[in-house]
Amino acid sequence: MLRVLWLVPAMDRLWIEAADGRRRFLDRMTLSFEPGHSDAVLRYEKAMRERNRLLKDEVRDDRWYGALEEQMAEAGAVIRANRQRAVGRVIEAQHLARTAFPAAELALVGAEGADEAGDAEAMLTAFAEGRARDRAAGRTLTGPHRADLVATYADKAMPAAQASTGEQKALLISLILANARALAEEVGAPPILLLDEVAAHLDEGRRAALYDEICALGAQAFMTGTGPELFDSLEARAQVFEVLDKSGLSEVREQG
């Protein structure tokens, strides 16, 4: 009924943090296109927790593993397909748009750096073949829960993790905007954008370009910043509120 995309300062470290942060970002992006994606993730994780318990207890009955692995493979194939589709839509939206923000080449890779692909049958085989290794580790080492979202700064052919702080922020904003454009095209209405401290690490030119793109998208956007000067280029296209802390109370003043 309502699609919402957001960007908060903690996400600025997306390209240099651990893979689990990128998986959460990837699954939120996927969920914006596929509302049922979370159900597949929950089914997969529930079955995997049961399998991990068997592994830790060193249970060797293949029938128990087989039943759980079948559930994991079925849900895992859905997860992978949903993720691949979402990434493809965002890549397409980046390349078809003329924007001041750099494009990121995206790829899904597995735990060993292999291409994140495979159907339910291939996944089921991988789970069965990996039981001995997984039993030694006490956890499942193969599957979509080990996937990673890899990004490359396209114009410089540089891994996003090696880009400057400003470039990393620009790449992240590029993905959010591409996600919004793809959703607008797919569902006929742009998502709501929640952008906290979005102007941080952006120069004046990129800030102006960001606001122009949001207005062109026709999205309802809520943006925060540390000072009104960060939003000067919006001029009369937005309402501006100043939030003040006075004697322990928050006061909100409308400025325009």
Q: How many residues does the chain have?
A: 256
C-beta separation of 172 from 11 below 8 A: yes
Cα separation, 198 vs 184, whole angstroms:
21
Q: Return the higher-pLDDT residue of 90 and 251.
A: 90
Provide the pLDDT for residue 98: 80
What six digits make up the tokens of 157?
């052919």
Q: Check pLDDT > 70 for residue 28.
A: yes
What six digits make up the tokens of 14?
């997306």
What six digits make up the tokens of 141?
């080492």
**SS3 state of residue 151:** strand
Beta bridge partners of 250: 245
Provide the pLDDT for residue 160: 95
103 Cβ contact list (under 8 Å, min separation 6): 94, 95, 154, 155, 174
Provide the pLDDT for residue 253: 58
- Beta-carbon-side half-sphere exposure of residue 85 (alpha carbons within 13 Å): 14
Q: What tens digit of pLDDT does each residue of 114-160 get?
A: 455 568 999 999 999 999 999 999 999 999 999 999 999 999 999 99
Cα separation, 40 vs 44, whole angstroms:
6
Cα separation, 254 vs 256, whole angstroms:
6
Nearest-5° angle of CA 105, CA 106, CA 110? Answer: 145
Q: Average pLDDT, stretch 72-76? A: 96
Provide the pLDDT for residue 99: 83
Domain limits, the chain: 4-254
pLDDT band at 250 (very low <50, low <70, confident <90, very high): low
Provide the pLDDT for residue 256: 47
161: DSSP letter: G
What is the topology classification, in CATH, of domain 4-254?
A: Glutathione S-transferase Yfyf (Class Pi); Chain A, domain 2 (1.20.1050)
